[in-house]
Amino acid sequence: MAMSAAVGFTVANPHALAVILDASETRSIIATRDIFDLSGTKLWARDQPVSRELQRKLMDRQLRHPLEACLYAENGVTSRSLVQSLEELLQHDTPLGVLLRPHDEKLVHSAMHIPLHPVAQLLLSAGQASRPEAFEHALQAMALAGALVLAQGADTRALRQAMLCGLLHDLGELYIDPLHGEAEADRVPDLQSYRHLVVHPHVSRLLVEQLTNYPSEVARAVGEHHERLDGSGYPNRLQGEQVSPLGRLLAVADAVLAALRAGPNQLVRASVALRAVPGEFDQRWVGLVADAARLQPTPQPACDAGELRQRLTRLDESLQAMQDKAGVLVLAADTPALRGAIGLALQLLQRLRTGFNASGLWGGAEWAPEELAEIEAAEAELQFRLRAIQRAARLYAGQGLTADDDQRLRLLCEGLSPA
């Protein structure tokens, strides 16, 4: 797994190394010190540019110092280039821009003063060159985290810290196979893929804690950006006060950005995503996004009210049938792992249905025309959440299932994928 290769950073992570080597073809990445393995063998000389030969020399070698602490991107990300990238982002007429534009001057000014530790600078530079979509996501998270705290009247220190957290929060994704990144999270990966995905917040935290001198609250927050206040997040299923204030902010920012990638009516979808399950997110950040969505022109729905109601009725019937079937699967389960996975899935499903019932999705009242786009977005979010419940159940069950229990788990997941 990606985690075992990253903990301690005594061995070069193959995925991060691949990103760095890809970037070295267009950026000047040099060694800032001699690189030795634990036996004292010199593997690479100080001031020598990185090349593909380094990959061969590092193979299976334990290092005296983490590789990331030995390299620097000479023509990589700087405070000035970060500001330029942010200014370009702010010029785009996008749903995200609605949230950012009221604060654009303060965001740009603050970006100039965000401290770039050499390890963070190396990884951001490598990501920008090799995985530009990952750098763009980091830039968006930096800006959105800053805009949210500014809307709450943050001072200069709080603003810079929030923006730094957004910039760093997904560095751990460079340490997992790109096939398993967050961009793939809308599908239902197999168990191994999901195990890779859920570890990246922990790797991000380790990077900041062990390889930089950033404040401990920054490291903690980047490790919490997928936690949820109700305990349904990952990697540690933290609850309530166990999640730091900065972690709560990052969770909202990351969820908003995920919703903005989801297709039409993105700002409405983001607002719905944050309100889908009561108790998931910190309400003071949720309200800011909901207010921005309400101020936008009413989006045009993709279908009429009759078709949408029929789809939701079929979905509701399928979910009720799945809940009934789950009770039978629990009784037939051979292993505690499957019983626990089904119990978790039912718990998450009940919370999800409670939230959507409160929204009036399956009520008998007629929908006003201006409500259709939000209800359509709610339906899309519900489908997305059902896929997330499948992933959580697969992860909980693990790999030690009997053949019969493995089949039962598949039946459970099929029930969470209604047509």
Q: For 150-202, write each residue's pLDDT tens digit.
A: 999 999 999 999 999 999 999 999 998 877 655 444 444 455 666 677 889 99
With a cut of 50, say whether residue 2 has pLDDT above it. Answer: no
pTM over cut 0.75: yes
Provide the pLDDT confidence category of residue 361 given band limits of 50, 70 and 90: low
Say if residues 45 and 31 touch (Cβ distance below 8 Å).
Answer: yes
Please classify residue 94 by burial: count the beta carbons closer than 10 Å to its beta carbon, then call 0-12 exposed, 13-18 middle and 19+ buried.
middle
Query: Residues 371-386: what's their mean pLDDT?
Result: 86
Provide the pLDDT confidence category of residue 232 given band limits of 50, 70 and 90: confident
With a cut of 60, say whether residue 36 has pLDDT above it. Answer: yes
* 132-151 helix and 79-91 helix, angle to the nearest 10 degrees: 80
What type of residue is 95? P
Q: Rounded to an integer, what distance in angstroms lies between the CA atom of residue 65 and that of residue 59?
A: 15
Q: What is the DSSP letter of 367?
A: P
Using the CB atoms, write b or e for 279-316: b if 16+ within 10 Å: ebbbeebbebbbebbeeeeebebeeebeebbeebeebb
What type of residue is 413? C
pLDDT given at position 356? 79
Which two tokens mark 26? 């267009």
Say if residues 225 and 247 touch (Cβ distance below 8 Å).
Answer: yes
| pLDDT more than 90, % of the chain | 54
Query: Residues 55-62: what's their mean pLDDT?
Result: 90
Residues in the chain: 419
Q: Rounded to an integer, what distance in angstroms lies between the CA atom of residue 138 and that of residue 128?
A: 10
Provide the pLDDT confidence category of residue 244 given band limits of 50, 70 and 90: very high
pLDDT given at position 49? 96
Query: Residues 243-252: what's their mean pLDDT?
Result: 98
Query: Residues 21-42: what's their mean pLDDT?
Result: 96
Q: What is the DSSP letter of 30?
A: E
Average pLDDT, the chain: 88
Q: What string of DSSP letters covers 83-145?
A: HHHHHHHHHS-SHHHHHHGGGHHHHHHHHTT----HHHHHHHHHHHHH-HHHHHHHHHHHHHH
Q: For 89-130, write each residue's pLDDT tens digit.
A: 999 888 899 999 999 999 999 999 999 999 999 999 999 999
pLDDT given at position 376? 86
Provide the pLDDT confidence category of residue 304 given band limits of 50, 70 and 90: confident
Q: Collect all residues with Cβ–Cβ distance below 8 Å to 7 and sequence separation of at least 6.
A: 206
Provide the pLDDT confidence category of residue 264 given band limits of 50, 70 and 90: low
Query: Residues 382-402: what's their mean pLDDT?
Result: 83
Provide the pLDDT confidence category of residue 363 given band limits of 50, 70 and 90: low
Query: Residues 327-346: what's their mean pLDDT?
Result: 88
Q: What string of DSSP letters covers 154-171?
A: --HHHHHHHHHHHHHTTG
Q: Where are the alpha helices (DSSP H) in 261-304?
A: 266-275, 283-294
Q: Collect all residues with Cβ–Cβ distance below 8 Å to 272 and sequence separation of at least 6.
A: 259, 374, 377, 378, 381
Provide the pLDDT confidence category of residue 1 given band limits of 50, 70 and 90: very low
With a cut of 50, say whether residue 74 has pLDDT above it. Answer: yes
With a cut of 60, say whether residue 60 has pLDDT above it. Answer: yes
pLDDT given at position 212? 97
Please classify residue 88 by burial: count the beta carbons closer than 10 Å to its beta carbon, then call 0-12 exposed, 13-18 middle and 19+ buried.
exposed
Which residue has better confidence, 274 or 384? Answer: 274
